[in-house]
Amino acid sequence: MPDATSAAIDALAARHPEMRPFWEAAAEGRFVLATCTACGRPHWYPRSVCPLCGSTDIDWRAASGRGSIYSVSVARRADPPYALAYVTLAEGPTMMTNIVDCDLDALAIGQPVRVIFRPGPTGLPIPMFTPDRGADG
């Protein structure tokens, strides 16, 4: 991992240590979810205590990176326009994200999407989603 990437992860982990495994995986292009080993359910937003059962036994597991649009709002007056959405992941949790690399007018509730990573303000890759054209067959 390049020094700048490590430094960015260290800076974020200083404020939110429970997120370090997520950012390390993202820097490698992998999408992972915090999963409670007590109840077996993944959750988003990652935290050190399972919001579903209260356990502190949290593990990071590979996620499919697939989901569907739960809700979407297109900011047409922004320059450039963008889509902010809630995506329900195949593993169950719902996360807020951006939908990118698509025709914003073609986005629809229930549409299959897949994760892609785009550089964020710190240089670390941020998970965003794009329509999953392969899911339609």
The SS3 of residue 84 is: strand
- The pTM assigned to this predicted structure is 0.89
Edge-to-edge strand ranges of the sheet holding 42-43? 42-43, 32-36, 58-62
How many Cβ atoms sit within 10 Å of the Cβ of residue 119? 9
Distance CA 96, CA 49 (A): 20
Determine phi and psi for 32, rounding to 5 degrees: -125, 155
Q: To the nearest whole percent, how much of the chain has pLDDT over 90?
A: 76
Distance CA 68, CA 78 (A): 24
State the pLDDT confidence band at 12, using cuts at 50, 70 and 90. Answer: confident
The answer on pLDDT for 77 being more than 80 is yes
The SS3 of residue 134 is: helix
pLDDT at 5: 85
Q: To the nearest whole percent, how much of the chain has pLDDT over 70?
A: 96
Tokens read off for 11: 């800076």
Class of the 3-136 domain? mainly beta
